[in-house]
Structure 1
Amino acid sequence: VFTSLDTAACLGIAAALETSSTHPLGRAIVHAARASGSAQFVAVSLTNVPGEGVEGQVNGRHYRLGRERFALTETGRAAQPASDPQPASDLQPASDPQPASAAQTRSADQADASDPSAPAHSSTSRDHQGLHSEVWLSQDGLPLARIALADPLREEAPAVVAALRKAGLTVHLVSGDRRAVVNAVGDRLDIGSCHPEATPADKLAFVQALQCQGRRVLAVGDGINDAPLLAAADVSIAMGCASTLARTSASVVLLGSGLDDVTALRTLALRTRRVIVQNLGWALAYNIIAIPAAAFGWIAPWAAALGMSASSLLVAGNALRLLESRRHHTAPSTGAR
């Protein structure tokens, strides 16, 4: 916190700006504010700026929450402690705030953006190590607080990336998160191609650049900022917990939220293509043999009709083998992210 406002007040303002957010970090901030008894504020004139953050009015004052460059744009100030831009007495919550608890001042290292019940915490100027996403809260361009949220990897993430790489795919990590976080994730997943601090336009340009090289692109995303990328990719997958815009932009929407569903979907797609080729091959071979035989009277009409029915049953039975693959992947996926 950079002003005389306490952690609870800053968290309450941030939660007001994120009330209608579908972003995991936004939901975590809202839930943390409610769970910690922070003051409840009402934000109006909310505007979501894709790839940057959200801004709105609280009690007649203009606030921004998002990237540092976005939050502090109005005055061009660097991130440094400033005098209190708005006295604490001027902040009138929608309802009486509850007393702040010790949990509100714990280290931001304990905040978990993937779990809405995990607390989010305003941080001081100390550096954060590991997978911590940061958002800045400002009033009229003056920094109020920096909120750091831990965003742990899913347990299955390393195995999924390794499986995709083993299958011959080149894995890229394109994220709007800060460089330290993206590079840390890339190191832990052994992804050499990492592109941090990417805006929606940057993500779209990245996909188009790959396509210009003649590559077919499979994109996986879940946020509003991923919508342009998902729409442009040759095949795109949105997770079950994705935003509405991401789901409508994707080619496929997974019912679950586990990353291992991505590899399961690819396996199912390969099996489906193999079954289609088998069925087409059988139908073509059967017709090449059976039609001339029936035309020249080498087989009786009843035998030809019986053979056609048997051929249809064989094709249908072969396709039903795909149900076995579906049963293998109906167990719910688990993970932190």
Structure 2
Amino acid sequence: MNSKFEGQACFHCGLDVPKGTLFIADINGTAQPMCCPGCKAVAETIVSSGLEHYYKYRQGDSVAIPELSGTDLPTNVQDELQLYDNNTIQKAFVISLQDDLKEATLVIEGITCAACVWLLEHHLVKQSGVEQASVNLTNHRARIRWHDDTIQLSQIMAAIYHVGYKGHPYHPDKEEQLLELEKKRAFRRLGVAGLGMMQVMMMSIALYAGALQGIEDKFETFIRWTSLIIATPVLLYSARPFFIAAIRDIKSRYLSMDVPVSIAVGGAYLASAWATITQSGEVYFDSVTMFTFFLLIGRYLEMQARHRTGRAGNALLNLIPASAIRIREGNETLIPATELNIDDIILVKPGHTIPADGIIIEGYSSIDESALTGEYLPINKTIGDSVASGTINVESPVQLKVTDVGADTKLSAIVRLLERAQEEKPAVAKIADKVASYFVASVLLTAAIVSLFWWSIDPQNAFWITLSVLVVTCPCALSLATPTALTAATGTLRQHGLLITRGHVLESLATATHIIFDKTGTLTEGNLSLKSTQLCSDLDTQTVLGIAAALEAHSEHPIAKAFHKYQTQTAKALNVELGQGLEGTIEGVSYRIGKPEYSSALCQQQLTYKDAPDLDGQWLLLCGTQSPLAWFCLNDQIRKDTPRTLAILRRLGLNVQMLTGDNSGAVKEVANALNIKDVISNTSPQEKLAYIQKLQSQGAKVVMVGDGINDIPVLAGAQTSIAMGSATDLAKTNADAILISSDIGRLVDAILLSRKTQSIIRQNLSWALLYNLIALPLAAMGFIAPYMAAIGMSVSSLIVVGNALRLTKLVRRNPVK
């Protein structure tokens, strides 16, 4: 990096410039350092839009935007927010779902607990034009969907500021810096509180000893004033986040745990200060500093756990390299990856990471997809094969034609699906959030009753007993019990090749009774090959293969791939009959390929699988308008880990079934090889859905695993649906989880981990409730001092977080005999 900018902060956002990077933007004729390509792009857009005055307003002032709560935004803030309405800037973090419907992921600063999430979600959805807003308590990210013709993104971000929070476009590098900044701030607050606590405790010991053995008034006064001076920065700096959050919550009329905490800390400090000034009563500076310190310790360790899970998604997007080699008119140019556009031609050398989704147009190589799928073996790719950004070219240089960039890449889609799963709350999480919100009100009411009671019988101890009640019953552990467990389990499964895209999956997998599989591409590899061709007409083999390939050319079904290499012509007026076959015209003549019953109807003959050359294998029939033309026998292999996986699933108590549209001899062959007793074959998509619904009406909790377009209705209808990684895009969209890895054994891992997750959630909730039920009466009876209450509450939260982190490892599978 240029030594001129060594150690400087980013001119745009104020964060530290990472070592070894060099992003520079020309601002008002002066080269200024930038921390990332995102800030550089925003800064250059500011200048090109004629808004240089934005930096003039800001120069000399703190880059950090002040905390706002219902006040008018400063001019420089408004100018910056309006820049986010620029399509060029939105390209990196906004996706267009429909003509006017957009979706963005933002990182929110200022979130402290579940109440913050509730406030943000309810405030945002009240904005005209905002269709959906969900906030993740664990990683502090918000996913917002809005109608661009009704409300602009800048207005949404301004609405976030108005309730006391601060939003940033989500970018992994940017969030890493924000996480590091949050960590430094938390550590400084913790350090001030710890130092203050130690000093005040020394003073307090002297006061306690003096109360027993006698102490001169001048020394007692000196110690009290010294304690007040030391405790003041602890209150104003270390405990400041509690007061800011409490004021914000009171204004929004929603109680959070910060309200009783602030009342406890602020009340103890004010009472002690009054006692010091008037030289009367007891002082509680030791309780103020100790409570603040222990609470900050709990939040700091909780923050560390949250950062750990949040970095899992960041690590995915950080796979995308910063630069790419673009080829234009035979010239190679190194450019930032953010400047790539669709249809650009790029060169990816061996050992380099692919910067965008694309199709290989020259060369062949093997691609390491382990970061996305968990598969450690590279996959061979050649001309015409698609590759995803974030994967690594292993062997030979290849040229790609870019098909998707930025937020539209498969890698970005995976991250969004992962975030969607973490944002969606299962029933148990919603109940916990609701209980926590009512719990705070109950705590305040209980504290008031306890205070009145003790004031009437023992005024001297009333204050610190009330203080203990407020502190000991804060529902931190209750709020953390569910989200920490769900986030940990979701991240673990993603790292091992199963991407959960809906929040209810872990809950429903744990209680599943039936698991139903499609056959082709699910239980089998789906890499169908043409085994043999039996002619039924005067046409030769090449001709019938060319007709079949023309019909199957645009199909994504695994069967179609077996014919793609034979294509020599194009079919028109294609019509797909889900689960049956395809019909199209070639040079004015109609043809059908698919199941015998469907295809033979074109030539007015009634043929079935019994009319195939033999009853072994999977047979397709090609027919013209006059007569059948050829039978095709396809060959497929059972996935190598399937027998063992099904055996473990049965041992776990699940009813394993196969539901397929196929009616060939291959169905019986696969069922026998896998010991599947319940087989339903020759079913249409509608019949599949009806069968699933019938099972569910009888009380079954069904998991459906499929991969094709014909599986879409049943995937949407099942309580839990899992699409294979090779499935069609539509099937993935309708599925609740995606098996990115081809290892079907990951289904066992998902079942085992989901059951462990439910167990840990129950343990966490039970512990949180049990702790409060035990601690509240003890505090109300005066057996728990304020500092003990602070320690107990922090330890309770840490137990919950630590228990949830046990889900970062898969449950060991017991071997099958």
How does the TM-score come out when normalised to structure 2?
0.33
Of 596, 600, 608, the residue aligned with 1:72 is 600
Per the alignment, residue 785 of structure 2 pairs with: 300
Of 14, 19, 23, the residue aligned with 2:553 is 19
Question: Are positions 1:137 and 2:618 aligned together?
Answer: no
Unaligned 5+ segments in structure 2 are 1-534
Q: Distance in 2 between matches of 1:284 and 1:176?
A: 50
Rg comparison, structure with higher value: 2
Q: Distance in 2 between matches of 1:47 and 1:72?
A: 16
Of 3, 28, 31, the residue aligned with 2:562 is 28
1:6-55 Cα deviation digits (max 9, x unpaired): 22222222122112211111112214x2xxxxx51111221111111111
Q: Distance in 1 between matches of 2:749 and 2:583?
A: 39
Q: Distance in 1 between matches of 2:647 and 2:580?
A: 31
Per the alignment, residue 189 of structure 1 pairs with: 674
Per the alignment, residue 574 of structure 2 pairs with: 46
Task: Map residues 127-276 of structure 1 onto 2, 5 A cutoff.
Answer: 127=614, 129=616, 132-140=617-625, 142-276=627-761
Any conservation in 2 of the 1:71–1:141 contact (CA below 8 Å)? no
**Partner letter of residue 562 of structure 2?**
A
Any conservation in 1 of the 2:615–2:665 contact (CA below 8 Å)? no
**Partner letter of residue 673 of structure 2?**
R
Q: Distance in 2 between matches of 1:269 and 1:295?
A: 39
How many residues in Structure 1 have an aligned counterpart in Structure 2? 277
Of 29, 49, 55, the residue aligned with 2:583 is 55
Any conservation in 2 of the 1:66–1:135 contact (CA below 8 Å)? yes
Q: Distance in 2 between matches of 1:28 and 1:270?
A: 40
**Partner letter of residue 6 of structure 1?**
D
Q: Percent identity?
A: 41
Q: Distance in 2 between matches of 1:141 and 1:234?
A: 45
Q: Distance in 1 between matches of 2:615 and 2:545?
A: 19
1:213-236 Cα deviation digits (max 9, x unpaired): 222212111111111212221222
Q: Distance in 2 between matches of 1:314 and 1:259?
A: 34
Residue 140 of structure 1, CA deviation: 1.9
Residue 142 of structure 1, CA deviation: 2.2
1:153-183 Cα deviation digits (max 9, x unpaired): 1111111111111111112111111142212
Q: Distance in 2 between matches of 1:141 and 1:293?
A: 90
**Partner letter of residue 71 of structure 1?**
S
Unaligned 5+ segments in structure 1 are 34-38, 81-123, 330-337
Any conservation in 1 of the 2:662–2:682 contact (CA below 8 Å)? yes
**Partner letter of residue 585 of structure 2?**
Q
Q: Distance in 2 between matches of 1:47 and 1:78?
A: 21
RMSD: 2.2
Per the alignment, residue 97 of structure 1 pairs with: none
Any conservation in 1 of the 2:659–2:688 contact (CA below 8 Å)? yes
SS of structure 1 residue aligned to 2:810: helix
Q: Distance in 1 between matches of 2:781 and 2:542?
A: 88
SS of structure 2 residue aligned to 1:146: strand
Residue 4 of structure 1, CA deviation: 2.6
Q: Distance in 1 between matches of 2:784 and 2:607?
A: 87
Per the alignment, residue 6 of structure 1 pairs with: 540
**Partner letter of residue 182 of structure 1?**
V
Q: Distance in 2 between matches of 1:221 and 1:72?
A: 27
Question: Are positions 1:324 and 2:812 aligned together?
Answer: no
Residue 308 of structure 1, CA deviation: 1.4
Residue 67 of structure 1, CA deviation: 0.7
Residue 148 of structure 1, CA deviation: 1.0
1:96-137 Cα deviation digits (max 9, x unpaired): xxxxxxxxxxxxxxxxxxxxxxxxxxxx963253xx222211
Residue 79 of structure 1, CA deviation: 4.9
Q: Distance in 2 between matches of 1:215 and 1:62?
A: 44
Q: Distance in 2 between matches of 1:79 and 1:300?
A: 86
Q: Distance in 2 between matches of 1:137 and 1:259?
A: 33
Per the alignment, residue 257 of structure 2 pairs with: none
Residue 244 of structure 1, CA deviation: 2.0
Q: Distance in 2 between matches of 1:154 and 1:20?
A: 26
Residue 293 of structure 1, CA deviation: 2.6
Per the alignment, residue 141 of structure 2 pairs with: none
Distance 1:141 1:234, change over 3 A: farther
SS of structure 2 residue aligned to 1:47: strand
Q: Distance in 1 between matches of 2:786 and 2:543?
A: 85
> Where is the helix percentage greater, Structure 1 or Structure 2?
2
Any conservation in 2 of the 1:279–1:318 contact (CA below 8 Å)? yes
SS of structure 2 residue aligned to 1:319: helix
SS of structure 1 residue aligned to 2:721: strand
Q: Mean alpha-carbon deviation: is it higher for 240-249 or for 146-155? A: 240-249
Distance 1:275 1:293, change over 3 A: same
**Partner letter of residue 775 of structure 2?**
A
Q: Distance in 2 between matches of 1:11 and 1:258?
A: 33
Q: Distance in 2 between matches of 1:261 and 1:165?
A: 15
SS of structure 2 residue aligned to 1:46: strand
Q: Distance in 1 between matches of 2:646 and 2:626?
A: 40
**Partner letter of residue 324 of structure 1?**
K
Residue 303 of structure 1, CA deviation: 2.2
Residue 270 of structure 1, CA deviation: 0.8
- Greater relative contact order (Cα < 8 A, sep 6+): 1
SS of structure 2 residue aligned to 1:136: strand
Q: Distance in 1 between matches of 2:574 and 2:549?
A: 12
Q: Distance in 2 between matches of 1:319 and 1:141?
A: 66
Any conservation in 2 of the 1:133–1:150 contact (CA below 8 Å)? yes
